[in-house]
Amino acid sequence: MTPETDTAKGAARADGSGVGVQLVGLRRSFGPTRALDELSIDIAPGEFVAFLGPSGCGKTTALRIIAGLDDADSGEVLVGGKDIRRLPANRRDMGMVFQAYSLFPNMTARDNVAFGLRMRKVRKRARRQKAEEVLGLVGLAGYADRYPSQMSGGQQQRVALARALAIEPRVLLLDEPLSALDAKVRGELRDEIRRIHLEIGTTTVFVTHDQEEALTLADRVAVINYGRLQQIGPPTEIYERPRTEFVADFIGLTNRLPGVAKDGTVAVLDTRVPLLEGSVESGEVTVLVRPEAMHVTPRDDGNGRIAMVSFRGSICMLRVRLVTDALVLVQMPSAEATQFSAGDPVQASVRSVPVLAVAPGDRPGSRAADVESDPSLSPDAADAVG
């Protein structure tokens, strides 16, 4: 995962034709479960915003409320400055792509794409022309006469995207559209979505639980947990300057180290580093440090030993067992890491980058190290570091 710069992504909005979307204090409960709890998000015209969070955090509920497929208990949904809560779904002019394959099985790709135009009483020739144009946009120019059962999952999702785009929606809503696809197709379609957004500039809301998708696609990422907005900002900010423990833990890998905070800084592993906004500012704390913010140097009387070196191409991940028995993960360029091997005594320290300090929790050690030791969790998380 390499978060792109916000400036580069901001260019996408230059020719944007979308409208702004504001969610104001949205609340939604399902029985005793509160899916949305005063959720407020402001999306600029033409912006690509990803709602990111774990399963059940309320991100899909928020998207469905925007689409008109669900009603909020309270709060407002403003599109282009107008409250649309009373508008039924079929009059909201929003294009939506679902997680499940949702092509109409009785229609060809062309008819699927033209369906929204047909509902708008567009003439047959214009419908056909537009459908073929949009199918070309998603790279399926030759597939117009195929039925959904004659297409692969990736092709079906492309047609679903074309169908949503054909009506030139005010807002494009994407509800985990890539999660049912295999890794290769997912990567391809992700790039397509990005390219198409750059090309047409429609305001887009993308719901996902996959941080890699969110960080690589979106202009801004809204991290949601338990129906509440944890943080919203450009991917680099979310990654480098998390404001809550949840965001720091959920995005990428994090070492959890004990420290003492004082005067806007924290002493951790014999280093004093500045604190991020939202940190606990005094007393004993748990410091959340990214693997790439860690550093090791060879030292016989150091504070730990290398437990394992994992080669990852241009970078290496080093697991260091500290004298306190905690395990930390350190990321460094492979060229530098070649001098280390398992058992080497080292001095682990933290680079002078701002870190988040939270109240001491009951989770000693490192989430990064936990993830590393659990192969079933490692691929995505490891990518997230890379």
Which residues sit at the interface with another protein, rule CB under 8 A? 67-69, 88-96, 98, 100-102, 104-106, 115-116, 119-120, 146-147, 149-153, 160, 163-164, 167, 180, 182
DSSP label of 60:
H
CB closer to another protein, 90 vs 376: 90
Q: What is the largest CA-CA distance in the chain?
A: 80
Task: State the Cα–Cα distance between residues 202 and 7, nearest whole angstrom.
Answer: 18
CB closer to another protein, 149 vs 314: 149
Minimum CB separation from another protein for residue 68, in Å? 8
CB closer to another protein, 208 vs 366: 208
Minimum CB separation from another protein for residue 148, in Å? 9
CB closer to another protein, 2 vs 106: 106
Minimum CB separation from another protein for residue 87, in Å? 12
Task: State the Cα–Cα distance between residues 386 and 244, nearest whole angstrom.
Answer: 22
Minimum CB separation from another protein for residue 106, in Å? 4
The answer to whether residues 255 and 328 touch, using CB atoms and an 8 Å cutoff, is: yes
- Four-point Cα dihedral 303, 305, 310, 315, nearest 10: 40
Could you tell me how many helices (H) and strands (E) the chain has, helices first?
12, 20
Task: State the Cα–Cα distance between residues 204 and 17, nearest whole angstrom.
Answer: 11
Minimum CB separation from another protein for residue 264, in Å? 49
Task: State the Cα–Cα distance between residues 158 and 32, nearest whole angstrom.
Answer: 38
Minimum CB separation from another protein for residue 43, in Å? 18
CB closer to another protein, 105 vs 379: 105
CB closer to another protein, 7 vs 90: 90
Q: How far apart are the first and last CA of the chain?
A: 6
Task: State the Cα–Cα distance between residues 226 and 105, nearest whole angstrom.
Answer: 36
